[in-house]
Amino acid sequence: MDPQHTIHNAVSNIICSIVFGERFEYDNKRFSYLLKILNNHFMLTGSAAGQIFNLAPFIKHFPGPHQKVMQNFTELLSFIRDEIKEHKETLDPDSPRDFIDAYLLEIEKQKSNEGSTFHEENMVMSVLDLFLAGTDTTSTTIRWGLIYLIQNPDVQERCHEEIVRVLGYDRLPTAIFSDKEHWKHPDAFNPENFLDENGNFFKPESFIAFSLGDSAVCEINKQI
């Protein structure tokens, strides 16, 4: 049994919870539509037509199979813009729900700043990047991890032993991001966790999304 579909659904749903502020049932029509256009995007951009389009973007003015790439990309952008429109209509400045709400509030805050890069088109592309850069990469990494575990049952057994030893059978795993000693309101979306008393951005010592020490992701500063 290929777990690709299940893994892809789970990863996409996590990104949805961060960006849109909600998780979907896997049979939800909107969620299924999003998965469909995301999957089409990865297949099309990896195809010969997609590669040629990347090499020579001027061919967008001519008919051909590359037009499917443009059509699918347009559908993705339309989906995101619809979500942003809905967020605008239901936005509560005192209670931001997710990434889009936080971005909308920052756009309003920076409205008088002519040099600000916070505007709606940038938000659309930022949301797009979160899905395109976070969905397939994470899903593929998990799938390869499972493949290596299947091929190396001794490693799989050691992983299982550690999980049982550390977590047992009756305790849900928790992480530092849920620790009330380090984070205010860990169960709520709270951008203020990354703002100092003057409202300036700072990186808390408790923020270790990319691991620690030698195992930390390369070029961590660029990714953050």
Task: Report d(CA 184, CA 201) in Å as an integer.
Answer: 16
Residue of 91, 89, 90 whose CA lies nearest to 106: 91
Query: What pLDDT score was predicted for residue 184?
Result: 78
Task: Report d(CA 22, CA 68) in Å as an integer.
Answer: 29
In DSSP terms, 195 is beta-bridged to: 201
Residues of the chain short of pLDDT 50, as ranges, are: 215, 217-224
Query: What pLDDT score was predicted for residue 183?
Result: 80
Give pTM, 2 decimals: 0.69
Would you tell me the crossing angle of helices 67-90 and 29-45 to the nearest 10 degrees? Answer: 140
Contacts of 103 (CB under 8 A, 6+ apart): 118, 123, 126
**Which element (helix H / strand E) includes 79?**
helix 67-90
Query: What pLDDT score was predicted for residue 224?
Result: 42
Task: Report d(CA 78, CA 88) in Å as an integer.
Answer: 15
CB 99 within 8 A of CB 147: no
Please count the other Cβ atoms lying within 10 Å of the Cβ belonging to residue 207: 15
